[in-house]
Amino acid sequence: MNKTPFLCSVLLLCISLPSAGQDLNDLIRKEANISVPASEQMYRELHQNPELSLQEFKTAEKMAVALEKMGFEVTGGVGGNGVVGVFRNGTGPVVMLRTDMDALPVREATGVSWASTVTVTDDHGLVTPVMHACGHDLHMTVWHGTLSTLVALRSRWKGTIIAVAQPAEEVSGGSDQMIKDGLYSRFPKPDYALCYHVSPDLPAGTTGYLAGPIFAGVNSADMKVYGIGGHGAMPHKTIDPIVLSAKIILDYQTIVSREINPVSPAVITVGSIHGGTKHNIIPEEVEMKLTLRFFSEDVYRQIREAVVRIANGHAMAAGLPQEKWPVISFGKDFTPPVDNDPGLVSRAAASMEKAIGKENVLRVDPSTVAEDFGKYGRTEEKVKIALFWLGGANRDKYDRSIAEGTMLPALHSSTFLPDFVPAYTTGVTAMSMAVIDLFNSK
């Protein structure tokens, strides 16, 4: 038998696979750093070509192709534009890594040469600019870099990766659509689900963690406040719904300050109010749009009850008959809080400390922003979830903002732009270590 081909194959295998004696931290950092040039190109291409929620057709195709090149079994069209990749590597835990893909109707003002100039026609026929103003382009790139690292180091772990590229996060529907389309039945059910969200308030090179609710739940409410219209010169013959709305809005501010336990955070925002057509006409009705933010369902129920009670009370006090009391409709697809599993957070944060240093893994306060990742943990399958912040602020700008008391560009801002290289390498290094440790845990 000719042994030369066999010896060559063994030699190639030894070269391609890391030695068991090599330090895992070094291997992960090496993979993250090697991938920077190609990943930065991917990031800029994604940034220049954003797509709105439910329109992520080309973005989903890019994610599917990227997964196929890494050896994943890929299924597209899950829950709309969702993509699911499965990578099996022996017997072990099943870990889901999720990224979101959609962008926002924002006109970019970062000034970089690779800024988005995309415009689209929305559902109302209006031309709107589009921008990745919430960092989903960074999320996708870090997700891809982490998956690539895990595949390259597959000799160091056993288990199954479920890679999820989710549509429609910004409209809070994508996760629900993927779950309803069989995410947990058509594919291996995950033991753990992890993701990042970039933070404009943490410096690049860090991650942030919190056990329990890290992001708030949110729901919308649409309200019609009725009155009796008439001439502006004869207000005594009317019941003015604009004045009535003003009283309701002011009293809504007391729900949080006087009705809810001070240690239970909540936010009530009246984001839109429209009424009337002319200077001297008292209108028949006013329309208002609200958002309600909360960290527990008990608080949510308390807010809903108070919103209805206060509106009806003012209408009754104004002398309106019950059939003309305000009509309030609450959103049906509310977003629950992102409730991080404490045990999973503890384990993953410890792994991240090992990978990037304890000083760079920061305990954070809860945030009242919303994210539909929380829905993955609220199914009957009881999947343990953990969302981590990924620092995105340029370190020099961050330090200057602290020293001078200035604000950095926020999420959804036209000037929001993460510091790519340190955010990317930190995100890939920290998450890769966390996932490998989960795979290797008993």
> Structure tokens of 139?
């999320």
Residue 55 pLDDT > 60: yes
228 Rama sector, left if φ>0, alpha if ψ -120 to 50, beta otherwise: beta
- Band of residue 332 on the pLDDT scale cut at 50, 70, 90: confident
Cα separation, 97 vs 32, whole angstroms: 17
The rounded percent of the chain whose pLDDT value lies above 70 is: 95
Topology adopted by domain 217-330: Alpha-Beta Plaits (3.30.70)
Residue 414 pLDDT > 80: yes
**Per-residue pLDDT tens digits for 418-435:** 999 999 999 999 999 999
- Band of residue 15 on the pLDDT scale cut at 50, 70, 90: very low
> Structure tokens of 350?
């410890």
Task: Summarize the confidence of residues 179-206 as an average pLDDT.
Answer: 98
**Per-residue pLDDT tens digits for 371-410:** 999 999 999 999 999 999 999 999 999 999 999 999 999 9
- Band of residue 22 on the pLDDT scale cut at 50, 70, 90: confident
Alpha helix ranges (H) inside 223-296: 241-254
Task: Summarize the confidence of residues 271-299 as an average pLDDT.
Answer: 97
Q: Please indicate whether residue 359 is annotated as part of the active site.
A: no
Domain spans of the chain? 23-215+337-440, 217-330
Residue 67 pLDDT > 80: yes
> Structure tokens of 89?
């590597």
**Per-residue pLDDT tens digits for 237-260:** 999 999 999 999 999 999 999 999
Indicate which residue of 51, 100, 169, 240 is catalytic. 100
The pLDDT, as a whole number, for residue 6 is: 35
- 23-215+337-440 is a CATH 1.10.20.10 domain: no
DSSP secondary structure string for all residues of 89-149 = ESSS-EEEEEEE--BBS-------TT----EEE-TTS-EEE-B-TTSHHHHHHHHHHHHHH
> Structure tokens of 70?
């890494």
The rounded percent of the chain whose pLDDT value lies above 90 is: 92
For the ranges 64-78, 82-96, 111-125, 134-148, the lowest mean pLDDT is seen at 111-125
**Total length of the chain:** 442
Cβ–Cβ < 8 Å for 130, 120: yes
The pLDDT, as a whole number, for residue 13 is: 38
Beta strands in 228-358 (DSSP E): 230-231, 266-275, 281-282, 285-294, 327-330, 338-340
Q: If you ran DSSP here, which 8-state letter would residue 375 be given?
A: G
229 burial via Cβ count (<10 Å: 0-12, 13-18, 19+): middle
For the ranges 13-22, 119-128, 268-277, 337-346, the lowest mean pLDDT is seen at 13-22
Cα separation, 197 vs 234, whole angstroms: 55
Residue 2 pLDDT > 50: no
**Per-residue pLDDT tens digits for 112-154:** 999 999 999 877 888 999 999 999 999 999 999 999 999 999 9
Q: If you ran DSSP here, which 8-state letter would residue 211 be given?
A: S
**Per-residue pLDDT tens digits for 97-116:** 999 999 999 999 999 999 99
Indicate which residue of 51, 102, 137, 170 is catalytic. 170
Q: Please indicate whether residue 100 is annotated as part of the active site.
A: yes
The pLDDT, as a whole number, for residue 19 is: 52
